[in-house]
Each structure stands twice: as structure tokens, then as C-alpha cells.
């Protein structure tokens, strides 16, 4: 089983699949990400020679909205430690302190960071925005990406250089200088927060913000550059953990009995329901232009629920909420990793580390949602009826 840590982002050995972005470095992973490559023996590429930023790219939005208002946008806040690879810098901070860390960052500010686990997801968000701007040039209903970091403002120069190097469209920054970003996330009306800090993710969830802790898998499956694919677990992610509590307390037979008795009673919402709702809102803009079959957003429900015995309640709940899910996979307890390998999502959300680890073993970028009763039982040996 893959060993993973919550803090910082776990870097796993193996190959990195084709991300098809420009060459970059953060001192930990240098050289080209074009095509497959292996890290050096310490798995972090510390011996590689970094390549400097060669110049900035001017970014324009032809005939469209440049900065959507937070109340109109789908705001995704991403930590710098999941968008980029910052393992070496994190070690400098932990081993030598903040002053040496700031000095190191300033000295290396012309060396771009390499892509992290959230990078393909953010690129896919930008690809969707490009399509939306073609269809609705004046609409502010777009993905708005906010870079969130505990860093001091001095580090902002290196982050800006990196964003320009990778030609990312990220103009909103939140650099807190070590303070909690949660209050700012609420001000941004954040729809989703992705971080390497499990404690801050829990804090965000407590405040009603959809959030998840991201991990770097041992290998990374190549994902679509033209279609955003987002996969969700069911219980304690899209739905509440009500059914999971029945299973934990009374076992599988009682769980099936409970679901049969309550199949016409809707499940309560879970922490990621609002994000699926936001994705559905954008999908409908494509449907309205006759592009349902060519929609650049596709959503998936990947659950260990059984279809006949417990799946109907989940589907009825989604329908009552007015939410469409493009594909629903009821696995009846089978491993999720092989199915996710076929889906190739940019991100998969699950509340159980058992499933996160299984997804990571197959090369899927997975994000842990630390919510619900399963957090008291999370271990690699855990199984679940509902998930």
C-alpha cells in the first residue's frame, strides 16, 4: 500500500506521465515535463540544475471579461504547495527557519517551480474558461482561480515568475504571511479550497467551505487537455455521512435495510455538494448552446454502494437536487483504483484514506475530504459499504 502523509504534500517515487507543459524547476524537480521522466535517486531531483525564467508572457482576454466578480464566478482557491512542487523550500523552512527560507526564495526567484498535483486540474479549469469565453464573451460565470499561500509577500515574485513561465491565468493572490487563510476564503466566496495542510482543510470544512487535502501519486496518469473530469465519492462527500454511520455502528445488513426503508427520503448534503452544483451550472451553459455531447466538463460518481440495494437513494437524491451526474459507477465494494484509472479524472474526492491510497497507486490525483464518521476509522485496512 502506498504510504502517504498529510503534511506536506507527499512526493512518491516513480514516473511522472505526460503533463505537456513547459520545462521548469524548483530545485527539486528540474528539466522537461514533456514525456515521461524519472526523478533521481532521492525521488526529488535535488541534483538537477534549475532553468531560469526566460521572460513574462502578456495575457489578454479578447473581447471578454477579465476579472469576474466573486459572486458570479466559481472560485477555486489553490495552495501554492499543491499547485507547484515546493518540497525543497519546505525543508529549508523546517530545518533552517523563516529567515533562511526567505533568503533562499529571493535568491531563487527567477527559477520557476515545477508543476504539483493540482496543476493539471487548474489547466483544465482554464481550458473550460476558454470555451466559455468563446460562447459567452461578456459572462462572468467562469472559473476564478485564487492562489493561496502562507508565504511572505517577498516570495510573491517567484510565484508570479512561475505562473508566467507556465502561462497560467492566475491574477488573484492571497499571501497571508503565516496567518490562516480561512477568513479570506470566505471573503472570496470560495467554492473549493485545495491544500496540503490537512488542518486548514478541516478548518475550511468547519466553516462550510468545500475543501480537500491533495496528494502527489507515485505515478501520474495522463489526463485530458480539453475536458475537465471530476470524480466524487458519494457518502460523506456529495452526501452526508448518515448512511455510513449506520454501517459503522450496525454492519452491512442493517445498512442495506436502512437504505431500503429510506429510499424515498433524500440524503442530506455533504461538503462537496455545492461544488458539484457549481460545475452543473457551468455545464448547462454549454447545453444551452447545443454542446451537451461536446461539453468540456464531465462529472462522475464513483461509489462502493451497490446499485440495486442502496444506489437508488443516491440517484433519487441527486435528481431531487436538480443535479446531473454524467456517469455513475456503483462498485458494490470493488476497488475504485482500476475504475479511476479508466476515467482519468483531473481530481477524485473521497473521505477515506483507503480509497485515496488505492487511487494514487493507479496514478490518479486524489484529494482527501476529512469529513464524517469515517475519520474515526480511517486506515488502510478500512472498508466501507456506502462510499
Catalytic residue status for 42: no
Q: What are the residues whose beta carbons fall under 8 Å from the beta carbon of 278, sequence distance 6 or more?
A: 74, 191
Helix (H, G, I), strand (E, B) or coil at 54: coil
Helix (H, G, I), strand (E, B) or coil at 245: helix
Measure the CA–CA gap between 23 and 29, rounded to whole angstroms: 10
Measure the CA–CA gap between 54 and 95, rounded to whole angstroms: 31
Strands 228-232 and 211-214: unpaired
Measure the CA–CA gap between 6 and 200, rounded to whole angstroms: 11
Q: Which residues of 77-91 are buried (b: 16+ CB within 10 A; e: fewer)?
A: bbbbbbbbbbbbbbe
Q: Which of 144, 233, 235, 351 is catalytic?
A: 233
**Where would I find the H helices in the chain?**
80-83, 87-96, 98-107, 119-135, 156-165, 182-187, 198-206, 242-250, 252-261, 273-287, 312-320, 337-343, 353-361
Measure the CA–CA gap between 357 and 73, rounded to whole angstroms: 32
* Cβ neighbours around 206 below 10 Å, total: 12
Four-residue CA torsion sign, 239, 240, 242, 244: positive
Measure the CA–CA gap between 53 and 181, rounded to whole angstroms: 28
For residue 153, the number of C-alpha atoms closer than 13 Å in the C-beta half-sphere is 0
Closest CA to 73 of 139, 126, 170, 136: 139
Q: 341: which 3 cell numbers?
A: 484509472
Q: 384: which 3 cell numbers?
A: 466501507
Positions annotated as catalytic residues are 233
Amino acid at each position: 500500500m502506498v504510504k502517504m502523509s498529510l503534511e506536506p504534500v507527499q512526493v512518491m517515487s516513480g514516473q511522472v506521465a505526460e503533463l505537456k507543459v513547459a520545462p521548469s524547476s524548483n530545485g527539486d524537480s528540474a528539466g522537461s515535463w514533456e514525456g515521461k521522466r524519472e526523478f533521481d535517486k532521492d525521488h526529488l531531483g535535488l541534483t538537477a540544475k534549475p532553468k531560469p525564467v526566460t521572460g513574462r508572457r502578456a495575457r489578454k482576454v479578447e473581447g471578454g471579461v477579465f476579472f469576474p466578480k466573486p459572486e458570479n464566478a466559481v472560485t477555486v482557491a489553490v495552495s501554492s504547495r499543491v499547485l507547484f512542487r515546493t518540497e525543497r523550500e519546505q525543508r529549508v523552512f523546517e530545518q533552517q527557519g523563516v529567515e533562511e527560507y526567505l533568503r533562499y526564495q529571493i535568491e531563487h526567484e527567477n527559477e520557476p517551480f515545477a508543476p504539483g498535483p493540482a496543476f493539471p486540474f487548474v489547466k483544465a479549469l482554464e481550458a473550460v474558461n476558454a470555451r466559455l469565453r468563446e460562447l459567452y464573451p461578456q459572462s462572468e460565470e467562469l472559473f476564478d482561480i485564487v492562489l493561496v499561500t502562507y508565504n511572505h509577500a517577498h516570495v510573491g515574485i517567484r510565484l508570479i515568475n512561475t505562473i508566467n513561465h507556465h502561462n497560467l491565468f492566475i491574477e488573484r493572490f492571497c499571501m497571508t504571511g503565516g496567518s490562516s487563510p480561512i477568513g479570506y476564503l470566505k471573503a472570496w466566496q470560495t467554492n473549493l479550497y485545495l491544500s496540503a495542510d490537512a488542518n486548514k482543510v478541516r478548518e475550511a470544512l468547519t466553516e462550510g467551505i468545500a475543501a480537500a487535502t491533495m496528494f502527489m501519486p507515485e505515478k501520474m496518469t495522463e489526463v485530458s487537455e480539453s475536458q475537465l473530469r471530476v470524480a466524487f465519492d458519494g457518502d460523506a462527500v456529495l452526501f452526508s455521512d448518515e448512511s455510513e454511520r449506520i454501517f459503522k455502528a450496525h454492519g452491512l445488513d442493517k445498512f442495506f435495510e436502512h437504505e431500503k426503508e429510506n429510499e424515498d427520503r433524500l440524503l442530506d448534503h455533504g461538503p462537496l455538494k455545492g461544488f458539484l452544483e457549481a460545475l452543473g451550472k457551468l455545464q448547462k451553459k454549454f447545453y444551452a448552446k447545443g454542446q451537451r455531447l461536446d461539453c468540456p466538463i464531465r462529472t462522475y460518481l464513483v461509489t462502493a454502494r451497490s446499485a440495486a440495494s442502496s444506489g437508488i437513494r443516491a440517484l433519487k437524491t441527486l435528481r431531487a437536487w436538480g443535479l446531473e451526474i454524467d456517469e455513475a459507477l456503483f462498485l458494490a465494494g470493488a476497488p475504485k483504483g482500476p475504475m479511476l484509472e479508466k476515467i482519468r479524472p483531473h481530481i477524485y474526492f473521497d473521505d477515506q484514506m483507503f480509497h485515496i491510497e488505492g487511487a494514487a497507486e493507479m496514478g490518479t490525483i486524489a484529494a482527501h475530504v476529512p469529513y464524517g464518521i469515517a475519520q474515526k476509522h480511517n486506515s488502510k485496512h478500512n472498508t466501507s459499504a456506502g462510499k
